[in-house]
A and B are shown apart, each in its own frame.
Chain A
Amino acid sequence: MTVSAFSSHDSNVLSLDLFRLRAGLGVEELSTGAGNTLPDWEAAAAKRLEALIRLDHGWDGHAAPPVSFHNAHFAFQMLQSICGDDAPAPAIVPGFDGDLQVEWQYGGVQIELHVLAANEVIAWRGSYDAEDEGEEVELENDFTTVERWVSELTSLFEADGRATA
């Protein structure tokens, strides 16, 4: 199976509005809405991405811009492509150039997805406690590798009884 994030030319208005709607609603409204089936991670990611695109210019004490909307939108679509419903909510942190990084750290294993731009992601899985460098791959459209990484991490998450969905 090939897991693809959307390319820039097919990022349609519906997806854009959906991201804005989810981000704008806030976690509380999303999680209490009647019939809502939104995974926990999705609401948390939307809320965090919304905060990152609203960072002040110079949030780093120098001249860093906020995360760009295009990168945030792409990251959200990427997460929808690679995360199952029970995936743990990723951490998302800003870069200094409008870029961002999606991260999980679970049981000594770290996954970092550095979104440099839409369809330009450097993905790494490894451990900061280990001597070896881990696995690094550059991704454009095919996110099958990281879908597998997140699936394996989600299995650990579920085995530990942490998943709520």
Chain B
Amino acid sequence: MEEPPRSPDGKVIPHDHAEILNDHVVIRRISKEHLFSAQDGSGTRISSMAYQASSEPGGGMSIDLLNLIVTLGHDSATFLLGGAYVGAVRFVVEPLRAMQFKVGYDPLVDNECHGEVWGKFNDRKKRALKRAARWEIEIPDVSLT
């Protein structure tokens, strides 16, 4: 992947990366803290709070780039799960860009497949993201909505 644009202090600038195509898939890992039991007994759900930007200034919603995971030969389940994460959902890039989000590359020291979704996150958009999410690594007995 081509290096992302960076500010003078080395931080990645929000951008739409040219090598992340509209038909590509990005992965959002799910923390166990974002699971809850529906009060009507219909089972466990993922909260819309899973689909928010981070608290860091200029931060977006962390994602992993599926094409890069595959290209680099990682096993996706091994790569994506563990630690805080119990499952993962996928988004096709085009609908994210249609929601005025930028989808870019933001490699980390310990994760060269890391990207970000930048833009204006609000409650309406977090619900739209919840509706758009599909399973990548399903959590047993958990529903997406």
Contact = CB atoms under 8 A, between A and B. Distances in A.
Interface of A: 55, 59-65, 88-91, 93-98, 100-101, 103-107, 112, 114, 122, 124, 126, 128-129, 133, 136, 157, 160, 162
Contact of B33 (A94, A128, A133): A94
Interface of B: 29, 31, 33-34, 36-42, 45, 47-49, 52-56, 62, 83-85, 123-124, 127, 130-131, 145
B33 A61 contact: no
Given A62-B54, A63-B55, A105-B36, 5 more contacts: A60-B31, A91-B37, A93-B36, A105-B45, A106-B39
B31 A61 contact: yes
A147 to B, nearest CB: 17
Contact of B123 (A63, A65, A136, A157): A136
User: Which one of B45, B55, B131 has the greatest number of beta carbons of chain A within 10 Å?
Assistant: B55
B33 A59 contact: yes
B47 A128 contact: no
Secondary structure dominating the interface of A: loop
A96 B62 CA distance: 11
Contacts, number: 84
A61 B85 CA distance: 8
A49 B24 CA distance: 38
A101 B127 contact: no
A126 B131 CA distance: 13
A61 B84 contact: yes
A65 B55 CA distance: 8
Nearest to B85: A61
A123 to B, nearest CB: 9
25 contacts: A60-B33, A60-B84, A61-B29, A61-B31, A61-B84, A61-B85, A63-B55, A64-B55, A65-B55, A91-B47, A94-B34, A96-B53, A96-B54, A97-B54, A97-B55, A101-B48, A103-B47, A105-B45, A106-B38, A107-B40, A112-B127, A128-B130, A129-B145, A133-B124, A160-B40
